[in-house]
Structure 1
Amino acid sequence: MKQILKERFPAWCFDMQQGQFTTMLTDDLDSLLGCAIEKYVKGNEINYFYNFNKIFVADKKEERKAIGIDLALHKGKSWCNHVVRISENDYVNPQTANINALLNVHKGNYTKKYAMSTVLTMWSFYGLPLPATKEGKMILLAIDSAYLGHYREMFNKIHTQYLLLLGFDELVDLLNETYESEFVEIQNKYNTKAKIQLNNEGYLTTTLPLAKLQGFFDFPLELPTKQFTLRNQFKDTTGSTYEFKSKDQIDKTIISFALTGKNRFKYTYL
């Protein structure tokens, strides 16, 4: 990651003390691999599962704070890739490690957003070596369809700029020599869009082929085997940026907030 970007990240991201925090998993591969990175680099293990309107906990006695992974928390530490402003002057969580937050992306410059995965942000920040094989690199780019902007004329330039800012020149070369359809094949082959869920007994399940995916990474990719129980429940709703000109106009205690398009947003609240 280029220093001009890295220096903008919150101070906690640079703290390499082992096991200082836990992590909060959400429902997809971007979050699971991000949690695996956080455990590999800093020893922070999953203790919470968030499915947008509920938080489940494994160890109720755990007192360490959690880092949300691929989660647009309004307060608290998180790695995130979402656009979290409507207006450029909106409040933004100062503890979020989110390129779109750090570079002041909002509705007005939405087409300039970082439209790749949380995993790529973390991979770059921590300076991890890219997978050795082309297929491994393609899997990284397939997560959250991070490859897509390269193949859209309107977004190709900004997509390339972000990859270079992250220090992923090699991935730019790979995209230039690979067809979009090949990434779709990778997504289908490894079921990368599969969700993570809790079953009726409180255990996490998924149809992600974790054993196959594991072979491309230098660290374990696995679901926690602990039983989870409900800790918090929130309400959720959507809104329009035609109606709300600023996130600060929302008269509720926001838990998480993200634009889902230039003119729509979704949030959870108490």
Structure 2
Amino acid sequence: MQNKLKDKFPEWCFNNEQGQNSLILTDDLDSLLGCAIEKFVKGNDINYFYSFKSLNVADRTDKRKAIGIDLALHKGKSWCNHVVRINEDDYVNPQTANINALLKIHSGNYFKKYAMSTVLTMWSFYNLPLPETKEGKMLLLCIDSGYLGHYSDSFKDVHTAYLKLLGFEELIDLLNKTHKFEYEMLQGKYNTKAKIKLNNDGYLQTNLPLAELQGLFGIPLELPTQQFTKMFQFQDDIGSTYSIRSKEQIDKRIISFALTGSKKFKYTYA
């Protein structure tokens, strides 16, 4: 990652003490692999599961501060890739490690956004070596369909600029030598869009082929085996930037917030 970007990240990201935080997992591969990176680099492990309807906990006695992974928290530490501003001057969580937040992306310049995964941000920030195999590198780009921008005539330059900021020129070369359909086939082969859910007994389950993915990414990848219980229940809603021009206009206690398009947003509240 180039220093002109890395230097913008919150101070807590540079703390190398081991096991100082717990992690909040959400419902997809981007979050699970992001949690695996945090554990691999800093020894932090999952204690919470956020379903966007509720926050569930495994060990209620764990008092460590939690980090949300691939989670657009309104307050508190998080790694994230979402657009979290409605307007340029909108409130943004000062503890979020989010390229779009750091570079002031909002509804007005939405199509200049970082449109790749949280995992790719973390991989770059922690200066991890790319997967050894071509398939592993391609799978890294499959997460959150991070390859897509390269194959859009109107967005390719923006996509390439972000990969250069991340220090991933090797991935630019790979994208230039591969085709969009190859990534789509890999997404199907490894079921990369499969969700993570809590079953009725409070245990996490998924159809992601974790052992195969672990081998390709070179990082231990597994679901927690502990039983989870509900800690907080939330509600969610959607809105439009045509009528809501700032998060300050939302008269509810926001838990998470993200734009889902240039004119639409979704948020969770208590």
**Residues of 2 paired with 1:173 and 1:217: CA distance?**
19
Residue pairs, 1:95-110, within 5 angstroms = 95-110=95-110
**Residues of 1 paired with 2:248 and 2:259: CA distance?**
14
TM-score of the superposition, structure 1-length normalised? 0.99
**Residues of 1 paired with 2:220 and 2:8: CA distance?**
29
% identical equivalent positions: 71
* 1:246 to partner: Cα distance: 1.1
Query: Would you say 1:81 and 2:67 are equivalent positions?
Result: no
Question: For residues 7-66 of structure 1, what are the alpha-carbon distances to aligned partners after superposition, in whole Å with 9 as ceiling and x for unaligned?
Answer: 000000000000000000000000000000000000000000001120000001110011
Partner secondary structure for residue 237 of structure 2: strand
Paired residue for 1:262? 262
Partner secondary structure for residue 154 of structure 2: coil
Cα RMSD, aligned residues only: 0.5
Residue pairs, 1:54-93, within 5 angstroms = 54-93=54-93
Partner secondary structure for residue 216 of structure 2: coil
Partner secondary structure for residue 60 of structure 1: coil
* 1:216 to partner: Cα distance: 1.2
Residue pairs, 1:117-266, within 5 angstroms = 117-266=117-266
**Residues of 2 paired with 1:242 and 1:217: CA distance?**
42
Partner secondary structure for residue 124 of structure 1: helix
**Residues of 2 paired with 1:53 and 1:164: CA distance?**
36
* 1:219 to partner: Cα distance: 2.2
Query: Would you say 1:41 and 2:41 are equivalent positions?
Result: yes
- Runs of 4+ in structure 1 displaced over 2 angstroms? none
**Residues of 2 paired with 1:218 and 1:151: CA distance?**
27
* Matched length: 270
**Residues of 1 paired with 2:161 and 2:167: CA distance?**
10
Partner secondary structure for residue 257 of structure 2: strand
Paired residue for 1:30? 30
Partner secondary structure for residue 261 of structure 1: coil
